[in-house]
Structure 1
Amino acid sequence: MKNILIVEDDLNIAELERDFLKLNGYSADIETDGSAALKAALTGRYDVLIVDLMLPGTGGYDIIKAVREKYEIPILVVSARSEDIDKIRGFEFGADDYLTKPFSPAELAARVKSHIERYDRLQGGGSANVIIRKWLEIDTASHKVLVSGREVSLTSTEYDLLVFLASNPNIVFTKERLFEAVWGDSYSGDLATVPVHIQKIRHKIEKNPGSPELIETLWGTGYRFNG
């Protein structure tokens, strides 16, 4: 059974999330204080983190950053902050998803399921295949990504997006198409996550992220991986 940590200072919302996740076959714990939540999240006991941003003690952004530095588990934000800048900042700190309150518990459970399946698929490995593009090497069996021979760490979503692009070189993809390919066509979410994840990937694989050679932006059109 997958273990989920819910970090939410509104106990009514937290209990609603917990109860609905349990109905869907997950185990869930609640922390209402940010500092206590951070300690719990860093124990390695949890498979998914669901975190609010406005918390007593340690804030949500700091929790996301600290957890992401140590683990690649799915991190979902559930927050009343609905501005694009808040969403972009959440993705930049390492969140995989962002839901705005009020939200549907059924949608939350569906997104948790989607992220768990993607993460498990990546952890489980696959058929041996190595993608080599210039100085980038992706071993899809071990899920290792090497840049000029040096291994770099990517989240599961970053990895999925990179593999999709690198597997389809010299093809232009719109944000909508990338979102559909990586997050799923039945998945409701914010397209703003696509350029944020692209930027994060660039910082990890490009020689000069400010002038990318591998993942090119075609303004007004989309993105192309130069193979």
Structure 2
Amino acid sequence: MTQQPRRALVVDDEPALVELVRGYLEHDGFEVRTASDGPTALDTARRFVPDVTILDLGLPLLDGIEVCRELRRFSDCYVIMLTARTDEVDTLVGLSVGADDYLTKPFSPRELVARVKVMLRRPRQIPATHAGTSLRFGPLEIDLAAREARIDGQIRELTVTEFNLLAVLARQPNVALTRRQLVEAVWSDEWIGDERLVDVHIGHLRRKLGDDAGAPRFVRTIRGVGYRMGTGE
């Protein structure tokens, strides 16, 4: 049976850039749709159902942050944010609404396509293991089968990447995992992006869990190493 081509949505208001990225993706066998503003991007995403969306931050009518936020209401596709601004706040806000990665303009189309291909080779969800589907850390319960995190019975809304990071840490309580180990478990061992993305996603995860980095209840920073689950010394 012939495998269906992967679908990519490219959203940017620079026609030359859109056509450049489209050409590289189509050369690698992707089916591509494009949009030049926020509302059109969302309408296209609903009809086209992309596997990955390449999304510019500075869009007309509805910016990339709002598009990503709305996209996450109905789609679990991967999102790579593009930005011409190097201000870190833009990057952090973009990731907080569910983006998986970012690239700063100007960028290499070959690198973009390489990142997309690596993303699509990794599973979108980390499956529950036979050892058990529910883990508990004090008031925090992690239901691996339902992919839900609850504190005192209240569900905390996490992005796919945030939940996957939490699941990887929770399955090895009190074991310090390096950023590279977390990248390989959640992204893939072929990941070529910035490992500091781990820190960004951990920061958002902590915020959503109400976990103070200075006095953590759940996720501890191990200086010079990475992170571990569990507050015990």
The TM-score normalised by the length of structure 2 is: 0.80
SS in structure 2 at match of 1:69: coil
1:191 is aligned to 2:202: no
| Structure 1: distance between partners of 2:111 and 2:195 | 17
Structure 1, 188-197 or 23-32: larger mean CA deviation: 188-197
Flag structure 2 segments of 5+ consecutive residues without an equivalent: none
1:52 is aligned to 2:32: no
Q: Residue 88 of structure 1 is aligned with which of 74, 88, 92?
A: 92
Distance of aligned partners of 1:34 and 1:179 in 2 relative to their CA distance in 1, 3 Å threshold: same
Specify which structure has the higher proportion of helix: 1
The amino acid across from 2:86 in the alignment is S
Q: Residue 105 of structure 2 is aligned with which of 101, 104, 129?
A: 101
Q: CA deviation at 1:168?
A: 1.5
- Listed one character per residue, the Cα deviations across residues 59-89 of structure 1 (whole Å, up to 9, x for unaligned) are 1111112212333321111222233332222
Match of 1:11 in 2: 15
Kindly, what percent of the aligned residue pairs are identical? 37
CA contact (8 A) 1:72 1:155 kept: no
| Structure 2: distance between partners of 1:153 and 1:44 | 26
Distance of aligned partners of 1:91 and 1:121 in 2 relative to their CA distance in 1, 3 Å threshold: closer
Match of 1:22 in 2: 26
Q: CA deviation at 1:57?
A: 1.6
| Structure 1: distance between partners of 2:220 and 2:128 | 28
Distance of aligned partners of 1:51 and 1:130 in 2 relative to their CA distance in 1, 3 Å threshold: same
What is the number of equivalent residue pairs in this alignment? Answer: 225
CA contact (8 A) 2:213 2:221 kept: no
Distance of aligned partners of 1:52 and 1:220 in 2 relative to their CA distance in 1, 3 Å threshold: same
Flag structure 1 segments of 5+ consecutive residues without an equivalent: none
1:216 is aligned to 2:220: yes
CA contact (8 A) 2:125 2:164 kept: no
| Structure 2: distance between partners of 1:195 and 1:121 | 20
